[in-house]
Structure 1
Amino acid sequence: MIAITNLSYYLGDRALYDGASLHIKPKMKIGLIGLNGTGKSTLLRMIDGEYQPDEGRISKSGDCTIGFLNQDLLSYQSDESILAVAMQAFERQNQLQVQIDNILHEMEHNYRDELVDKLAKVQDEFDALDGYTIQSKAEAILEGLGFVTDDLHRPLRLFSGGWRMRVMLAKLLLQKPSLLMLDEPTNHLDLPSIQWVEKYVQSYEGAVIVVSHDRAFLDNTVDTIVEVSGGKLNLYSGNYSYYLEEKALRNDIQRGAFENQQAKIKQTERFIERFKAKATKSKQVQSRVKALDKMEVVDAVVDENAKVHFRFQFTTQPGRHVFQLEDASKAYGDKVILDHTSITMERGDKIALIGANGRGKSTALRVVAGTEPIEGKRRLGHNVMFTFYAQHQLESLNINHNLLEELKYANSTKTETELRTVLGCFLFSGDDVFKKIKVLSGGEKSRVALAKVLLSQANFLLLDEPTNHLDMQSVNILIQALQQYEGSYIVVSHDRYFVESIANKIWYIEDHQIKEYPGTYVEYERWIEERGLQSAVSEKATVSSAPPQVKSNQATNNNGNAQKNINKATSAEDVQKLKKAKKQVEELEATINNLESKKSETEAKLAQPEVYNDSAKLAELNRFYADVKKKLDQATESWETAMMEVEELG
């Protein structure tokens, strides 16, 4: 369908692409990944024809149509209704509708047989193109993307950039191009809309290229990963999780090959140095010199997974209760956000506040921060010191400061070396620390603001969509920092991988109440699915009663782990079942520990250089590794089943 051959593209003297090639086939679902600045969006613009390559070519089949969702569409405005804008996708049907309307209008004054024949012909074509269903199709997609029925006839210009982007996405989906290119489609979507788009992309009949930093979205939508690295397009079959495994394996092989080659180079250089002055060895010396010149050098493995080597600490320990709401209500005119709700947060709680846009998550966060007036009581606990991060607060950065000065302003007790360490954690190194804030990109400003938050010595953090504008490496750094953080926090985010990695409790707003699930996001999703209440995830249905584990008016144990709260069984039979299930859990945990040890030992062996010189040994280890991994997955699945049984019997 599309062939990219020996593509090169330069930004000044820097080669963004250098001899890159890729073949895009019909129905492929591609996740395009890479660090910020490697040229992902540039590649999409070249495929779309907006940019021209400096070398190489991009060939497209004659019937290939392209739909491109990019961030430039945020600025598009129109006085037409959002329904009318979305229906612009049906260009031919709209032309026919105009013709039908004109003919009918003319027939009111001049009824002729030729007009009847013309109307019949136009209506037949309109019907063949499903013209009578285009409005219902447009309405269905717009509502799937989060619009309510009353919104559909409002002018596009009245909506914010994020909502306008949803309208443009709806228009593209209705066009059904043979190649759909989506550049960061989840940036302006809430969780229910993200899940809706996932299902749509999964069933999309054409090819799709997605640029996204949302790992869960990539795992659920793509079957191929294309990594932009070193000016090349490296293809991996499978979703993002498979890519991580395959990339690690390729890196191990490359690392072994590199170490073997370096050892051979050093041995050869020692031979040349030792015998270059001896006439009797001149032929051998020259032979080895030529061999070194012809050698295809194996590159060293570049570790792109930055690690945080800094502990973000605070000096003042808070009391047991960090925050409490009691009988709190909040409304904007007739729009009720909270209605006599109560909730308690304890020291050590790591909370993710999730749900659809418009339910009041950001409002609830401002209520916690005390910047939003309410009816009822709001209490901060003893010695609680909090700081608030939100996207609009990027504007509060001093644009005339450099990075070091801005962090020094946040925490004057840190030395320059400590501040450089923090900036290094957030991917600013060397002379980057002397850059002025005003020259930074949106993503770079987000990283600086997050570094300031974590340096503030607050023991309670409020973070509103902190992963927006961050690439995967930056998100991974933020995850590590929050996992190391010893205080408490509330995070609003639609990034499911991020939420699962950093939260031990889930808060959600339902029936104008803040409710709590005392477990991880995966456990929360499983609870929803088990009870047939998937609509609760999208927050479009009302649940008549809270789950047995959920409580909104009292605190849970500090660790937030529901699975450890085992109560007494209510009968002798249940007691026996519970004991049996707990014993099975213990046995499975021992098995899992054993298998994980074998897995780690095998990985260490696979990384040894001598293994790569013995193909039989390498094959044997790979088979053993695959067998251990399979058994580990099975044991883990059995452990999860057993733990669910313990929880049900407890």
Structure 2
Amino acid sequence: MTFIRVKGINKSFAEKQILNDISFDIKANDRIGLVGYNGCGKTTLANILFGKIKQDTGTIEMVHGSIRMGYLLQSIDYTVNDFQQVFSSVEDPDLLTHSSQLGLGKIYEWEDERLNHLSGGEKLKLSLAKVWSSKPDMLILDEPTNHLDFKGLQWLVEQIKAFIGPILIISHDRSFLDQSVNQIFEIEEGKLQAFSGNYSAYREEKKRQRAILEHQYTVQQRYKERIEGQMVQLRQWSDKAHRESTNQGSPSEKRQMGFKEYHRKKAKKMDVQIRSKMKRLEMELDKNKIDKPKEEVKVRFQFDASGKRGKRLIEAIHLSKSFNERTIFSDCNFYIKHGERMGIIGDNGAGKTTWIKMLLGQESVTEGDLWKSESLKIAYLSQDVHDLIDDLTVIEALNLTLREDIFRARTILANLGLSEKKIAQKIKQLSLGERIRVKLTDILMKEYDVLILDEPTNHLDLPSREQLEDTLSEFTGTILVVSHDAYFLERLCDRLLVFKDEKIIRVETGLKEYNQNKYQIKDKTKESADEKLMIINNRITAILGELSLLTPGDEKYHQLDLEFKELIDQKKLLLN
């Protein structure tokens, strides 16, 4: 059943056309992943569907009347006031249920002080709970996994599977798209192309299509070269014939004028034939012309670490942090060495961003000590893309004045995919992904020993994510990454700092092995319970056998009866 029918949508901003003749249908059970490079128009299309902005031309038809849409915005300037509406609805049982399932307990008890210290993930979870509790007919989710922990991700995947109605998801999270969508809409150069299957299937189909285009283009170029070679030969022959026919020559040669006149007419006739053949060939080439396949964007990052440091760069000794009566973590002991790549994981609100702020000197230590090398140079890419001043141009925001610095910055920005036109624009005119590139450029302009990346792949398109992985794998310094992008962490980090149960624990494995070990522990616990249950059942069978041979008045009967009751109680505990 078709929910929405979109026909011929066009949208421009100033002189730039963002969407060009976009048409598609959205059906009842569609799970659509909307992908494309930053700035290609994904959020613009979502806003048009939601009715937040108006298309220039084209129609959007709600086939069965009005549709109640739930829209998770890509970015909100979060303040305490942003969540007043959420907290005015805390008596909504669905809101409380979804919040609890996402790991946000007792939100009805939260006060302004608690709201002032919400992490990005907690803010996102509140927004998700609000969207889901509104009981929409259709969902539009713009970057729903940014800042979301693994527990929240699993909840979101399960809710998407259970939702009755279509869902449009804008995301650059490859693992999430593979789990949650059944088709991909790609926007490229203003056009929309639909693909069946999840993200991995889409990438395979794109590779197949590209290989076909490259082959067809190669065949066309060979054909064109052959025809052009033939034309060159025909022109050379015609030119020679013309020269010979107009040559006056000696008296004896003049006697051959009749012969030359014959050749002159023949050459003229051949010119007509050549021009006719060239025209036909040019028309054929234009009609069946295959443009050279566009090269995929290659984003180049360059990092380096200056100098060499001691083995231990950072060390926590009995480290604790609290806000009023709320303990974030306590009595933590761990270290980080030069050159290590640490993934920082944990539920939203467990203290990951707070610890980073402590490391940067932006938050105080409650108890214990957080030591770092005095000569340490730390680069920090925060998850907040709104700390750039809106009314400055890109170069002004980077605070560069020297000509060589400006030239280098322009080169880096171009490598990151920002055109000269974009560089000249104000920050407020840039997409979130483009703002991330500006912040990355600021880091690239300097030399650092430690890179702290707080959700570095948020708002980055897929080619940029993959290139960032390649480049960071070559960085010789220390990397600390807060991320919920499983692909990114598994590829980059071979050690973890795990924030769990008010503790920070150093783990000497990557994410995949850490998760496998957790499951193995669970399985061993289950095996242990099964073994205990089997022992209890065997003992119960033996007691029943003995009781059948005794009378209720026997002393042993009483002892066995008590043991039987205790075993029954133990069995109930294991089964619950």
TM over 0.5: yes
CA distance in 2, matches of 1:55, 1:399: 31
Residues 240-262 of structure 1, C-alpha deviation per residue, up to 9 Å, x if partnerless?
Answer: 12222221121111122122223
Distance 1:46 1:316 in 2: 51
Distance, in Å, in 2 between the alignment partners of 1:396 and 1:40 is 23
CA shift for structure 1 position 404: 8.3
8 Å contact from structure 1 (residues 326, 377) kept in 2: yes
Backbone CA RMSD of aligned residues: 3.6
User: 1:274: how far off?
Assistant: 5.0
Q: Contact (CA 8 Å) 1:86, 1:168: kept in 2 or not?
A: no
Per the alignment, residue 498 of structure 1 pairs with: 488
Counterpart in the other structure of 1:147 = 104
The corresponding residue for 2:9 is 7
**Inter-CA distance 334–396: structure 2 relative to 1 (3 Å threshold):** same
- 8 Å contact 2:119–2:348 — kept in the other structure? no
CA displacement, residues 95-143 of structure 1 (integer Å, 9 cap, x when unaligned): xxxxxxxxxxxxxxxxxxxxxxxxxxxxxxxxxxxxxxxx543321122
Q: Does 1:347 align with 2:338?
A: yes
Distance (whole Å) between structure 2 residues aligned to residue 340 and residue 84 of structure 1: 37
Q: Aligned partners of 1:156 and 1:209: how far apart in 2?
A: 35
Q: Is the 8 A contact 2:74 2:143 kept in 1?
A: no
Query: 2:291: which partner in 1?
Result: 299
* Structure whose CA Rg is larger: 2
> C-alpha separation between the residues in 2 aligned to 1:62 and 1:401?
46
User: What is the CA–CA distance in structure 1 between the aligned matches of 2:84 and 2:358, rounded to whole Å?
Assistant: 36
Give the AA of the match of 2:106: T
Q: 2:371 matched to 1:379?
A: yes
Normalised TM-score (structure 1): 0.66
TM-superposed deviation, 1:526? 2.2
Question: What secondary structure, in the 3-state scheme, does the structure 1 residue paired with 2:9 have?
Answer: strand
State which drifts further: 474-483 or 145-154: 145-154
Conservation of the 8 A alpha-carbon contact between 2:391 and 2:426: yes
Q: Offset at 1:441? A: 4.6
The answer to whether structure 1 residue 284 and structure 2 residue 300 are counterparts is no
Name the structure 2 match of 1:258: 217
The match for 1:448 among 438, 454, 476 is 438
Q: What is aligned with 1:603?
A: none
The residue type paired with residue 377 of structure 1 is: D
The DSSP-based 3-state class of the residue aligned with 1:68 is: strand
Equivalent pairs, count = 483
Percent of aligned positions with the same letter in both sequences?
28
1:471 lines up with 2:436 in the alignment: no
Higher mean displacement: 280-289 or 139-148: 280-289
Instruction: Work out whether residues 17 and 231 of structure 1, in 8 Å CA contact, stay in contact via their aligned partners in 2.
Output: yes
Q: From 413, 423, 428, give the equivalent of 2:413.
A: 423
Contact 2:450–2:477 (Cα < 8 Å) also in 1: yes
Distance 1:311 1:450, change over 3 A: closer
1:585-604 equivalences in 2 (<5 Å)? none
One-letter identity of the residue aligned with 2:304? Q
SS in 2 for 1:187: coil
Equivalent residues in 2 for 1:537-616 (5 A)?
none
Q: Please, which of 120, 124, 145 is the counterpart of residue 186 of structure 1?
A: 145
Post-superposition offset of 1:56? 3.8
In structure 2, the CA distance between the partners of 1:216 and 1:524, relative to structure 1 (3 Å rule), is same
Secondary structure (helix, strand or coil) at the match of 2:398 reads helix
How far is the alpha carbon of 1:393 from its aligned partner?
8.3
Aligned pairs (5 A) from 1:230-241: 230-241=189-200
Deviation at 1:388? 2.8
Checking the alignment, whether the CA contact within 8 Å between 2:32 and 2:181 is kept in structure 1 is: yes
Q: Distance in 2 between matches of 1:473 and 1:66?
A: 34
Letter in 2 for 1:148: G
Match of 2:155 among 184, 191, 196: 196
C-alpha separation in 1, matches of 2:45 and 2:423: 30
Please say if residues 147 and 483 of structure 2, whose CA atoms lie closer than 8 Å, have aligned partners that are also in contact: no
1:421–1:81 CA distance, 2 compared to 1 (3 A)? closer
* Larger helix proportion of the pair: 1
Instruction: Please report how far the alpha carbon of residue 355 of structure 1 lies from its aligned counterpart in structure 2 after TM superposition.
Output: 1.3
Aligned partners of 1:155 and 1:334: how far apart in 2?
Answer: 14
Whether 1:60 and 2:62 are equivalent positions in the alignment is yes
Sort the Cα spacing of 1:474 and 1:532 in 2 relative to 1 into closer, same or farther, 3 A.
same
Cα distance in 2, alignment partners of residues 440 and 17 from structure 1: 17
Counterparts of residues 624-635 of structure 1 (less than 5 Å): none
Q: Shift of the alpha carbon at 1:511?
A: 3.1
Q: Provide TM-score, normalisation by structure 2.
A: 0.74
For the 8 Å contact 1:403–1:435, the answer to whether it is kept is no
Q: Which runs of 5+ in 2 are unaligned?
A: 239-270, 525-576
